[in-house]
Each structure stands twice: as C-alpha cells, then as structure tokens.
Structure 1
C-alpha cells in the first residue's frame, strides 16, 4: 500500500491521479497532507501540484465524460467526505478503462456513489444561494457568514457575482476558515483572522453600518407580516429551510 498526500485542491488531486498511472501504483490511498498519519505498513509519497499532469488528466476525462459528468466529479470532490479521493480515483479508473460511457452505470457502486454525492452537494449550494444573508459594514462591504455541510463556495461564487455585480461582498465559511471576496472586478479566495470580539467572524456588530440594525428589523417585520399563521406548516418549513441555517437568517431572530 502506498499513501499519497497532496495539497487538498482539485488540481492537486488530479496530479495524484496522473502519478498513480505514471508509477503504476496498484494499491494506493490518497489523503490531504494535513490529515496524513504515518503508518509503518504503508509507503508514503508526497505529491506536488503539476500543471502539465493536471491538464493531461483533465483532457483525458473530458474526452470520455460529458460536461455534466465532469461537473459531478468536481462536486463530489467538494463534498470533502472521508476517503472521497479514493472513491473518485476508482471512478476515473473505471472511466478510462471502459470503451463505453459509464456515466449511468448505477449498478456500479462507485458511479452510484458519485451521482448521489454530487446531487447532495448541488442541493447544498442551491440552498446557500437562497439562504445567504448579507450585513452591511461601515466601509460599505456586504458581509455574510455561513457554515455549509460541504465546500460549496466555489459553486456559488458565479451566482453572487452576477446578482450583486455592483457591490463589494464577502461570503465567509466559518467551518473551513476561508471566504470568497468580490472587489467589483473579480472573485478571490481570502483567509481572515478574527479577534475574540467577533467570535470567529460570527458577530460583527462592532463593524456594521449604523443603519444595519434598522434594515434587519425591517426585514424581520416584513417576514412576520407575510407569514400567515393559519397556514403554518412547520414540518414542510423545516424541510425547505433546515434549522441549521436559522442562526444566520435575520428573519429567524427575535426582535
């Protein structure tokens, strides 16, 4: 068994895939560098991102998979589930070894796993697009905090860039300690350090615009006015808006 560590990026993982073929590794385990734990029974190889290797694997997959299948592959990687790199390696190997399309071969456990996981990640990204709530800071930056189940910020940045093209905004994933920042031109990944007063960025009242509290209260009042108590169906409501999102929604906060 050979354990191959990589930098945690999708491009870095595809570099590892190339090296599995390059060195003819038959039995491998792939894991992120920061999660690696030495094992006396396993050999260890540290992979470094290589643009040429990444490109060759991606082109090879693009020649055999549809755009939707490539997208599913990427979404599955973003799930960050334990051992997902090895599941995806099996998917790639099955793809490259087959003469026919394997995309809908759900009798294969790996293909089914990728399809199911990609669907869950897509659903989470769709929810983030609906449930992200911005707060205005004193320097005219619209800031939002979130804690998605999966690493969906790369999937939602296009939506927010197009929808809020005339505003500077930052969406920060406090679970993964990074965010996406739009500076009216491009979207960039950012890492921020918060002091104890902001509780890891969750409480930013000290830097919000003086009118932000008013905006929040107006939104809460609007939400209360359109909510018809007689038609309240909490089970259905939770189904569409799970409770784990409520702490970031101003309409769910008490006045």
Structure 2
C-alpha cells in the first residue's frame, strides 16, 4: 500500500496530485501529515509542496475541465472528510480524460462522492451565513464563535467583509483553533487559541436580552414547527445562538 503524505495545505494537495499523475502511481490514500498513524505495512511517500507544480494542476483543472470543477475540488478539500485526497485525485484523473462533462458521470463513484461532499460543504456554508452570532467585546471587536463540521471559515469571511465592512470582527472556528480576522480593510486567517475569558462590552448583555425578547415575540405559537426549524437550523449549531 502506497500513501502520499503532504503538509495539509491546498498547494500541498495539488502537488501530490501532480506527482501521482506524472509518476503514474495510484496511491491508496493522500493524507495530511497530521493524520498519519504508524503502520509498518504501508509505504509512505512524503511530498514536498511545490507552488509551481500546484499552479500547473490548478490551471489544468480550470482549462481542461472547468472552473466549477476547481471550486468543487477546493470545497471537498475543505470538507476534511476521510479519504478526500484520493477522491479528488480520482475525480481529476477522470476529468482530465473526459473534460467539462465529468460532473454528468454520476455513475462513477468518485464523481458521485465529490458531488455529495460538495453539496454538504455548500449547505453548511449557506447555513452559517445566517447563524453566526457576534458579541461585541470591550475592545470594540465583534466576536463570533462557531464550530462547523467543515473548514468553512474562509468561505464565509468574504460575505461578512461586505456586510460588516465598517467594523472590526473575528469569526473564530473553535474546533480548529483558527479565525478569520477583519480590520476594516482586509481579512486574514490565523491560528488562534483562547486562554482567557473574553470581556463583553458595556451594554452587550442588554442587547442580547433584547434580541431574545424580539425572537420570542415575533414567533407565532400556533405556527410553531420544531421539525422544520431543526431542519433549517440544525441543533448542532445552537450552542452559540444567543436566542437559544
């Protein structure tokens, strides 16, 4: 069994795909280095990230398949689901053969898996645009904690950059200890780990109480539909919803 190991970056994944394609190898898995477990029965091949090779794969996906396929590859990479590396590799290998119509070939397991994973990440991104709840801290920064299933903080940051362009804010993915940080000019993603309690701004608790009262008053008891609510606002995201 041959396993490719890369540094966990998107460029690293694309470099791994480049190497597998041109070495004419078919790795059993393509894994980030932080997921490796010791096993003497497998052959590990460590792939050094090469931006030039990664860019060639990036451009090849866009020109030989489609920009939509490129988006799908990136979303599946961010999904962090098991074996996503080799799923992407096999999807691209087919895509380079048949071109832009690859996504119509849903009878192929890798194409179907790619589509299913892509839809899950897209759906979670859509949900999170309406489920991030910011708290104003005593330093004026708006802080929004989340724990998404997939690594989508970079996918939702552009939306909040447009919506809250005049504010300083942080969207903190607590599960992964990373955050999108915006300073009224640009946003970046950085590693972050809170080691102390955050202090809320004066009046923030009052605003939270007002939001809860508003949420309760606009609801119509006769039309309450818990099943529909949970379908559109899954309970796994309720932890950081102020109104819940």
Q: Equivalent residue for 2:235?
A: 243
Q: Equivalent residue for 2:39?
A: 39
Q: Matches of 1:162 and 1:65 in 2, distance apart? A: 31
Distance apart, 1:65 and its partner CA: 2.2
Size of the aligned set, in residue pairs, is: 244
Q: Matches of 1:99 and 1:147 in 2, distance apart? A: 36
Q: Matches of 2:56 and 2:106 in 1, distance apart? A: 27
Q: Is the 8 A contact 2:88 2:114 kept in 1?
A: yes
Q: Matches of 2:235 and 2:132 in 1, distance apart? A: 14
Q: Is the 8 A contact 2:146 2:240 kept in 1?
A: yes
Q: Is the 8 A contact 1:167 1:184 kept in 2?
A: yes
Q: Please list the CA deviations of residues 4-26 of structure 1 after superposition, one character each: whole Å capped at 9, or x if unmatched.
A: 11111222100111111233323
Structure 2: 5+ residue stretches without partners: none
Q: CA separation of 1:229/1:40 partners in 2, compared to 1, >3 Å: closer, same or farther?
A: same
Partner of 1:171, secondary structure, is strand
Q: Equivalent residue for 1:86?
A: 86
Structure 1: 5+ residue stretches without partners: 199-203
Partner of 1:145, secondary structure, is strand
Distance apart, 1:100 and its partner CA: 6.5
Q: Equivalent residue for 2:180?
A: 180
Which stretch shifts more, 20-29 or 108-117?
Answer: 20-29
Q: Matches of 1:155 and 1:31 in 2, distance apart? A: 22
Q: Matches of 2:232 and 2:21 in 1, distance apart? A: 44
Q: Is the 8 A contact 2:65 2:99 kept in 1?
A: no
Q: 1:212 aligns with which of 204, 208, 211?
A: 204
